[in-house]
Structure formats: C-alpha cells, structure tokens
Structure 1
Amino acid sequence: MTQPLTNATDDITLSIVLPAKNESQAVGGTVEKLRALYPDAEILVVNDGSTDDTGSISEAAGATVIWQPYSMGNGAAIKAGARHATGKVIVFMDADGQHDPADIPRLLERLEQGFDMVVGARGNDSQASVGRGVANRFYNRLASWMVGQRIQDLTSGFRAVKADKFREFLHLLPNGFSYPTTTTMAFFRAGYPVAYEPIVAAKRIGKSHIRLFRDGIRFLLIIFKIGTLYSPLKLFLPIAFAHFLLGFGYYLYTFTVDHRLSSITIFLWSASVTIFLIGLVSEQITQLMYKK
C-alpha cells in the first residue's frame, strides 16, 4: 500500500531517514531499493562523520545527504534527519542492510489503522548475537512492566512514525544508540498508540559500531533511564519498600536478641523515606517533561 502516502503533487508526505556512519558497503544498495519502492519519497541519509564514501555513494544512489561535520552519534543523526524531513510520516531504518525496504508497506499499513508509531519487531532468529538477544529480552520485559503493555522490541531502529508526534520528543532523545528506547517509552508515556509488526532482520553488512564491553555500562544505564523516563515511582517505590522491609526485619532480629533498636535499622528506614521522596519528585519532573 504505497499510493496513499505519496501523490503527484509537490507535497512530500513520506520521508525515509537512514543514519549512516561508514556504511559505504551497504548504503548504496539500500537507497536504490528504497528509491525503486518509493520513487516519490524523500530519502535522507544522515552522514554521521563518516571517513569513507558513505555520503557520495548515497547521493549517487538518489538520496539527499545531510552532512554531519563529525560523528555525533546515532541519536543525533536521527534528530537531524527528523528536523530536515518534510514528510508527514517518517520511516527510520538502518543503512547497514539489516532492514528490508520491502517491509515498509506493512509498517505504513498499520500506521494508517490509527497508530502513531509502528515498530518493526525482530524475532529471536534476528538478533545479532546470543548476548544481545538475552539483553533485548530483558529490556522488553522490564519496559513491558513499566508501561503495562507488551513491548515486543524495545531497541529496534526500524519504525514508522507520525512526524508531528515524533518531533514532540526530540529534546528527550539522547545522542547515542538508545534513541529507540527513549522514543518507545515517550510515546507510551504520552498515550500515543504504538503497534508492532514482525520483521526478519538480516545480518548487517560491514562492521558493527557497538562494542559489548564498552557499551555494557551504557545499556545498564538505559534500564534505569526507562524507569525514570516513564514512571519513576514504579521504579523507586519497590526499592524504598525493600529498604523498609530490610530495616523492619533487622529490627525484629535485634529486638529479639538484644532488646534494642539498631542504628542500621534507622539507616534503612531513613533510606526508604529518602528513596520514596526522590521518586515522588522525579514523578513531578517527568510530568513537566511531557507537558507541551
């Protein structure tokens, strides 16, 4: 269903944004496939400080290239593409050959059913490695608990969005690789409907920019960011309650053995109150973040 989103007028209604850093091996073929499928669409390649021929190859294949003066990160490239895009609908996808342009019509069809964002959800056989597959499943379960909805793929970079809705959250998006996580949580937090469409992600062409050890701490921080971005109290309240229970349990022990109130108990109870109050303040800050 490509026709409803393009027409013969000069108004561009579909933009396709591809962040790219040193993707000269794959970006040309990806752009050519996109141009064949959507000849009237606006195809933007954000050249994130590449040191190879990514930019010139993209232009030769028929894309408009946004040149970043130096590498600013995947999220920064996404934001640059969103600011330059003129379409009412934006499709974000990788330039490394993992995402199949032939899947775009299915995402757009779901978008026309009333959703504000449709995410291409990868199956277990589409994960880059066993470790990343396990990590993604953990992220999905944590995020699903936070939002009360099933999230099938929190970190997928292949998604179609309503441009005006997406731009509401540009100030929240990080410059690194966690923009899909932030976008997903922001849409759920704002009450915008999100759908998932199954896709098969191919093995990327070229070398991945993600390093397991270097990025391990960053992905761990994403977990906490998920909680504080969506509903801080859902994260802080269980931690505060756990401190209270530990303090109460230690109080029962010390009272039974020594008939006294331990300073450790006082510390745990004080920490419980402090954590709860931090969560309460964070909840108010979150409300302000999502206020238009």
Structure 2
Amino acid sequence: MSAVLDNLVSAQSFPELSVVIPARNEAAGLQQLLPKLKAAFPGAEIIVSDDGSTDSTAAVAVAEGVRVVSRPYGAGNGAAIKAGARMASRDLIVFMDGDGQHQTEDIARLLAKFSEGYDMVVGARNPGGQANRHRGLANAFYNRLASWMVGHRVADLTSGFRVTRRKKFLEFLHLLPNGFSYPTTSTMAFFRAGYAVAYEAIDVKPRLAGTTSHIRLWRDGTRFLLIIFKIGTLYSPLKLFAPISLAFFSLGLGYYAYTFFTQHRFTNMSVLLFSAAVIIFLIGLISEQITALMYGGSGANGRDDS
C-alpha cells in the first residue's frame, strides 16, 4: 500500500483524473483549495460546479483557470454534482467539498485504495469529524440502517468525498436527487448493483470561518431516511416488504390467539391482518423479480465497462 501511495504522490500528474467540486457560496474555501489542487495534480481536470452562488465563487474559479459550470439559481448539492459529472471528461472522478473540510493530500490515499480494484472509494470521516453530536448520532443510525439494507458495512453513508469511474457513476445519475442525498444514493446504488465499494479513514478539518453547512438536521435527515428506503426498495425490495409482511402476520396471529382464548372465535380483524401480510409479501416478491429483470442486461450487473 505504501509503495502505491508513494507512486501516486510522486507522479504529480493524473491525465485521467477529474476533480468535481460542488460549490454554493464557497469563495473563501475555493481560494485556498484550488491552488493546492493545481499544485498537487497539475494534469487533472478541475471542475467547480457553481450552484447559484451569490458571492464570488464562480469568479474565484475562473481566476484560478479551472473549468466552471454555473446555474442561475440554487438547485441543490445533488444538482451541482450531476452537472459536474456530465462536464467531466476523464476516466476517474474525485468528488470533494469546497468548504475546507476535505484535504487535498487525502486524494492520493483514496486513489491508492481505488487502485486495489475497487469501483468506488469513499473517505470515511472519523467521529471527531462530525459537525456536532446530534449529526454524529444521526449518521451512525443511517450507517447501520443502510448496512442492513445493502448487506455490506457502510462506514460513512453521507460523506461526499469519494473517487469512482465516470462511466459507472453515470449509470446512476438519473437516481440522484437534486438535494443533499447524493452520497446516500450513489453509495447504496453501487453496493446493490454489485460494485466493490471501500472506505478509507480520513480526518476532516472544521469549516472555514464564514462558511456554514447548508444541511438541516431534521429536514434533510428525513430526506436521507426516505432516500435509504427508496434505494432499498429499488434494489432489494424484500428487505423492506418481508419484515413488514412478517409484522402484519405476527399481529394477526397474536390477535387471533387473543380472540380465540377470550371469545372462542376467529375475527374479521385477524383475517384482515393475515390478508395484508400475504399481499405485502407478494408485492415485495414481484418487485424483487422486476428489479432482477431491470438489471439483468444493464451495465450495473457487475460488468466492467471501464
């Protein structure tokens, strides 16, 4: 690993690498980040995707000589990511934030891990890198739930610092929301499509003075949760439908036992609960078959399109 990392660091030129930075009012962060990126990776294509900033974000990027794609109004972090990914022309894409939290030197570590044969490598923040205790607890819950949904350990579901192949990322571009759930969607999509995903531990620095997070815990937390269930339903429907079906069946069985011993009869409520259990299970089974057919002949079935 160290030898590969040393080679990556010393190469200083990555003609196959695009760096996409979604930015909204991140002029201060970009003034520090872009010179470092250009010095560390002079051969890389650097793209700043300006999501309707009202400060000098676009002007800073233009002054640094990097590519800029701008929106006339803010549509969300996911929309900026999609615009940057479409503009990227290199084989590999690194996604990172422009607020000063992600470090340029960690890119080489992600690339070194990626070179081991993974399809996506995500920078997993240490516990101290969470914005606050509540955000850390919420992310831990999301990680556990997503791990159960996809059947693999998800170390950091919401980290936006990652490297992947452009072709494979574009396969799921239509699934990405325009808001702040792009890391959630892309991570779960890669896992459920059978692609190899790895995590590399990283340290993140506090946001630069004058920059604030655009994520709101309760509002966007609910959206993250819905995205997890949405992607889980899309890629592994029985993971959701089977437990719900079992819950209804258990309720029906319990209610039947209660009415049998107290009233000596089989009630309509028990019939309704048993029927709901069967219907929900059958819906999940049909959804599972549709999912298998949908990905049976696509590039997301594990075939390497690189």
**TM range, smaller chain:** over 0.9
Within-5 A mapping of 1:157-172 = 157-172=160-175
TM-score with structure 1 setting the length = 0.93
The CA deviation string for residues 57-82 of structure 1, in whole angstroms up to 9 with x for no partner, is 11212321111122121111111111
Within-5 A mapping of 1:135-174 = 135-174=138-177
1:213 corresponds to which residue? 218
1:236 corresponds to which residue? 241
Q: Structure 2: which amino acid aligns with 1:281?
A: I
Matched, 1:21 2:21: no
2:286 corresponds to which residue? 281
Distance 1:55 1:175 in 2: 20
1:265 aligned to 247, 270, 279, which one?
270
Report runs of 4+ in structure 1 exceeding 6 Å deviation.
none
Q: Number of residue pairs matched?
A: 288
Q: Structure 1: which amino acid aligns with 2:170?
A: R
Q: Structure 1: which amino acid aligns with 2:75?
A: M
Contact 1:2 1:38 in 2 (8 A): no
2:256 corresponds to which residue? 251
1:52 deviates by 0.9
The CA deviation string for residues 187-235 of structure 1, in whole angstroms up to 9 with x for no partner, is 1112111111000111122011112233243233133224213311011
Q: Secondary structure at the match of 1:25?
A: helix
2:87 aligned to 71, 84, 87, which one?
84
Distance 1:231 1:4, change over 3 A: farther
Q: Secondary structure at the match of 1:15?
A: strand
Q: Secondary structure at the match of 2:110?
A: helix
1:288 deviates by 4.8
The CA deviation string for residues 26-77 of structure 1, in whole angstroms up to 9 with x for no partner, is 1121111111110111000000011111100112123211111221211111
Contact 1:79 1:170 in 2 (8 A): yes
Contact 1:35 1:62 in 2 (8 A): no
Distance 1:159 1:258 in 2: 61
TM-score with structure 2 setting the length = 0.89
Distance 2:75 2:45 in 1: 23
Contact 1:120 1:196 in 2 (8 A): yes
Q: Secondary structure at the match of 1:19?
A: strand
Matched, 1:128 2:150: no
Q: Which runs of 5+ in 2 are unaligned?
A: 1-7, 299-306
Contact 1:185 1:229 in 2 (8 A): no
- The CA RMSD over aligned residues, in Å, is 1.6
Q: Which runs of 5+ in 1 are unaligned?
A: none
The CA deviation string for residues 245-283 of structure 1, in whole angstroms up to 9 with x for no partner, is 110011011011101112221221122122212222332
Within-5 A mapping of 1:92-111 = 92-111=95-114
Q: Secondary structure at the match of 2:20?
A: strand
Contact 1:126 1:200 in 2 (8 A): yes
Distance 2:147 2:219 in 1: 26
Distance 1:89 1:5, change over 3 A: farther
